[in-house]
Structure 1
Amino acid sequence: MKLTTFFLFLFFINTGFSQDYDITSKLYGTYEKYKEEKLDKRRIKHHEIQPLIAKHAANPLFTVTKVGESIEGRDLKLISIGTGDTNVFLWSQMHGDEPTATQAIFDIFIFLASNGFKSEKQEILSNLTLHFLPMLNPDGAERYQRRNLLGVDINRDALRLQSPESKTLKRVRDSLEADFGFNLHDQSTYYNAERTEKPATISYLAPAFNYEKDINETRANAMKIIVFMNNIIQKYAPGQVGRYNDDFEPRAFGDNIQKWGTSTILIESGGYSNDVEKQEIRKLNYVSILSAIYTIAEENYKEIPIDEYSKIPENDRKLFDLKITNATYHLLDKAYKLDIGINRLEVDKKENTDFWYSSRILELGDLSTYYGYKTLDATDYTIKKGKVYPNELHNMDDINQINAIDLLKQGYTYLRVARLPLEKLESPIPMNIIGSTYKVPELQLQIGINPTFLLEKNGKPEYAVINGFLLDLNTGEGVFNNAMIYR
């Protein structure tokens, strides 16, 4: 950036934007007052948000309109508020398993209906009309899956428009002739900000509208809003912002909505340490989206230099849930040094309202260019297969008598249980459970296997990795959710 441009940017940050950053701090500090408490888990369903929509429909500030139906006949509703000439359109959960921003939208509704922030809300609602389509793919949400019931990725259906959900999104955008659009998604928690160990908690994109990636006024305005939002997120999650590659995708809605004249901001909610249900990321969505809406109302964004956009680190995908480095592994009587990258993969339970973990080794070898939410330097530690506890338990209730940490210290990682109920999917203690006739295979580290082993020093187990969860056997510390059951 030229020096004059840099000082211009600082000038607007320190003067014109001071009011916007004041509201950001207030929004963050008062968030719990406006949080929609009925939505506290990611796997939300269409029927759960209907009473919330009905509650706001009873408020004369809001207008609720049925704008379409999903393939299975679930209503798609547009919630609008404000009287301004500038139309801002926000749509969420185009992919059914990406609900973080959906929750934030309902937080925003409570904020807009409240008595607080009167002057700021007056500025927003007199200058803008806000339109929210909070769950575009309810059939996918019902199954907690990316695609709709047709098996189509709605975000690749902007040209063919085969899905009714796609037709609805296009029709609403066109009818509003929206000036700004917020395309709200979730991304994998394994994205990191390029060449850093920090997760890409929030990632942005001002989509290209042609193969040449030209920048017209429409796209430039989206870039300016993203620069503004990036500065907000840096305050609460420093270094944890990424930027998507902007190669033009002619089938994608974001690229086409940009092409059709709406300044389009893609927001992707990624990972944040110890935030499995993404509630802190939900809060960051709430704060940054409302702040962006406020700066659109104030029109302060217009003077932001777009040079800052390209300085946001690109998204990379080099994060593991657990990274173990420099571990000694014996194979065919030879010792090798290995790094191990482990991810804990979610498996949905019946009704898709909850999940359990089935972990996998994703990578082996030199992982010096990769990172972990948790990293253990296993220098001087040797990987060992765990043993099966010799005393078979009668049923699952007998597990309550087991001290798992004590058994892990003795080298046992498996418990044999005679009667395993079919409905039981996962082990509640940090030991894998096996049936009466199950034979535990030899430990041979390979991509795709379940990571269960011990880390020994001087012949003594000091760490256990059970279904990808790391436990310190000296202190008993470690994050644990579930182990495996093998019948």
Structure 2
Amino acid sequence: MKLIKDDLIKAFSLYEEKALMHRRFKHADILPLLENVRSSGRLSITEIGKSTENRSICRLQYGQGPIKILLWSQMHGDEPTATMALFDLFNFFGGEDDGFDAFRNEIASKLTLYFIPMLNPDGTERFQRRTAMDVDMNRDARATATVEGALLKEQAMLLKPDFAFNLHNQNNYYNIPGTNTPVTISLLAPAYDYARSINETRADAMRVIVGINKILQEFVPNAVAKYDDEHTPRGFGDNFQKWGASTILIESGAYVGDPEKMMVRKCNFVALLKSFEEIARQSFVSYSLVDYEAIPFNDEKLHDVLLRNLTIEQNGAQIVVDIAIRQNEKTIGSDYCVAGVVEDIGDLQDFYGYQDLDVSGLKFIPAKKYDNILLIDQLDHNLIQNLLRKGITTVHIRDGEAAGKLHQFPINIVSSESFLSEGLPKLGSMANFFIGTDENIRYAIVNGYVLDLTVANQDLHYKNSVY
């Protein structure tokens, strides 16, 4: 059988790992899943070492074929999307009697797949990019100063893979050039030298990428790009390419309305399963490098919010500017809140927003703080709507123990005398203000979220914290 779109949809729906539906899972969350994989008997599991903080790092194997493929995920601890997809694949390879048995047998006979999920479990614990030693492991291929980086290089030398898949996440602000479409997946055959030379090893990686792009266009049309191909001599992808493994970088990006990356995870599953088929059958060799070069490079012109043509008055003068807002994530325990900040001010005609508003004819209105001290139990939708319509973005609650706790109210809550608005918008300042006329407020900007005060019962998902 040749996998087509319907097959891949069916496979994903059958084997999506339901225990991983939120992206801030930890090492402890995957341990029982690994035991489930082990019990299926279809994949073998070997502990190849421990992290700096003594968390296990495992390698899984499927198949006994002559072509060896090594895949690793989450070498950056805050890049979990591919790890979820790998567990979906483990479930798939552990399945049977679903119409895919012949495909599995073919893969097992032609390929040996080696997987290292969650290569940086200490970083994952903190939801941070770097290891416990604050080293970027993806810049440690040359020095191998980290325990985890040394383990990966050891596996490269031991297994000598024919193909390697380096699985990452990129930020949400990459777009397809000239459009407001976020890049859902970006791909790259990393360069092994500064000249960006193309030998047969790198060319094969490019051809596999052409195949990946073909299938992904059926799932996310015009949302695939190439990652920057500047040579990084200390990077693992560049060195795997140099060591003779045709290396494919997959960067999980963004998809509108998908904060937990479930659609992006599905794209990973599709891309990897289709790649295994193409490599097993050697069908990728027929693809042209011209088609690889035709994939556009990432652009980076997206913001969470872009307010266009906002009038700002100061000292009797008026200016009209665009304002870009980023909703940065801040880790709170095992969860997170958003810190909405002003990212840019000025002429932003060539930029885009996930939420893109032309506010021509409306002006900036500074935010105020509510004079009375409240109990958090007094806050409800009606009170908050009334406060927002009066130009208030911040309320002070009496319960000091609430500091740092998460909430989903569309208003700033402080447990001290703090005030979270800073007058006129400035770069890096918190995005708390209003937009309207002298008579009426139209929009409330609260911690970087936009609320249209003329619309009732807006379906918005806030991630705020008590300050």
How far apart in 1 are the matches of 2:415 and 2:32? 45
Q: What does residue range 59-208 of structure 1 map to in structure 2 within 5 Å?
A: 59-115=40-96, 116=98, 117-208=100-191
Deviation at 1:305, TM superposition (A): 0.3
Query: Could you tell me whether the CA contact under 8 Å between 1:70 and 1:138 is conserved in 2?
Result: yes
Partner SS, residue 29 of structure 2: helix
Counterpart AA for 1:96: G
List aligned pairs for 1:418-457, cutoff 5 A: 418-435=398-415, 437-438=417-418, 443-457=423-437
- CA deviation map 1:184-217 (0-9, x unaligned): 0011111112232111111111011112111111
* Partner in structure 2 of residue 13 of structure 1: none
- Contact 1:100-1:281 within 8 A present in 2 as well: yes
Match of 2:210 in 1: 227
* 1:120-158 CA distance string (max 9 Å, x none): 222211111111001111111111111111211111111
> Kindly, what percent of the aligned residue pairs are identical?
39
Q: Does 1:261 align with 2:241?
A: no
Structure 1: 5+ residue stretches without partners: 1-18
What displacement does 1:256 show?
A: 0.6
3-state SS in 2 of match to 1:79: strand
Q: Counterparts of 1:439 and 1:321 in 2: how far apart (Å)?
A: 23
Among 280, 286, 291, the alignment partner of 2:263 is 280
Counterpart AA for 1:274: G
Inter-CA distance 162–403: structure 2 relative to 1 (3 Å threshold): same
The DSSP-based 3-state class of the residue aligned with 2:441 is strand
Q: Which amino acid aligns with 2:56?
A: D
Q: 2:455 aligns with which of 475, 481, 484?
A: 475
**Does residue 1:216 correspond to 2:196, yes or no?**
no
CA distance in 1, matches of 2:95, 2:417: 61
**Shift in CA distance, 38/436, structure 1 to aligned 2, threshold 3 Å:** closer
Alpha-carbon distance in structure 2 between the residues aligned to 1:482 and 1:226: 36
**Aligned-partner Cα distance in 1 for 2:247–2:8:** 23
Match of 1:345 in 2: 328
**Aligned residue for 1:5?**
none
Kindly provide the CA deviation profile for residues 427-473 of structure 1, in whole angstroms up to 9, marking residues without a partner as x.
Answer: 53112224564456651110001111111145211111111111111
Contact 1:470 1:480 in 2 (8 A): no
Q: Deviations over 1:208-249 (max 9, x none)?
A: 111211111110010011111112222221221121121211
Q: Is the 8 A contact 2:138 2:235 kept in 1?
A: yes
CA contact (8 A) 1:396 1:420 kept: no
Distance 1:440 1:274, change over 3 A: closer
Residues 420 and 432, structure 2, Cα contact 8 Å, conserved in 1: no
1:25 to 2:10 alignment: no
Change in CA separation of 1:474 and 1:179 when aligned onto 2, cut-off 3 Å: same
CA distance in 2, matches of 1:386, 1:446: 14
Contact 1:93 1:184 in 2 (8 A): yes
**What amino acid maps onto 1:206 in structure 2?**
A
Indicate how the Cα distance of structure 1 residues 67 and 434 shifts in structure 2: closer, same or farther if over 3 A, else same: closer
Report deviation, 1:42.
0.9
Identify which of 4, 12, 16 aligns with 1:35. 16
| Correspondence for 1:328 | 311
Q: Which residue of 2 aligns with 1:11?
A: none
- Of 270-279 and 56-65, deviating more is 56-65
**2:250 aligned with 1:270, yes or no?**
no
Q: Is the 8 A contact 2:119 2:148 kept in 1?
A: yes
111-120 or 464-473, larger mean C-alpha shift: 111-120
Equivalent residue number for residue 340 of structure 2: 359
Cα distance in 2 for residues equivalent to 1:112 and 1:253: 27
Task: Determine the C-alpha separation between the residues in 1 that align with 2:351 and 2:165.
Answer: 31
Question: Which letter does structure 2 place at the counterpart of 1:257?
Answer: F
Q: Secondary structure at the match of 2:257?
A: coil
Q: What is the TM-score when the length of structure 1 is the normalising length?
A: 0.91
Q: When the two structures are aligned, how many residues end up with a matched partner? A: 464
Mapping for residues 401-412 of structure 1, pairs under 5 Å: 402-412=382-392
Verify: 1:413 aligned to 2:393, yes or no. Answer: yes
Alpha-carbon distance in structure 2 between the residues aligned to 1:455 and 1:436: 27
Counterpart CA distance in 2 for 1:342 and 1:208 is 34
Q: Is the 8 A contact 2:400 2:416 kept in 1?
A: no
The Cα of 1:298 is off from its aligned counterpart by: 1.3
State how far apart, in whole Å, the 2-side matches of 1:66 and 1:485 are: 42
- Is 242-251 or 472-481 further displaced after alignment? 472-481
The CA RMSD measured in Å over matched residues stands at 1.7
Extract unaligned runs of 5+ from structure 2.
none
CA 1:130–1:386: 2 relative to 1, 3 Å: same
TM-score normalised over the length of structure 2: 0.95
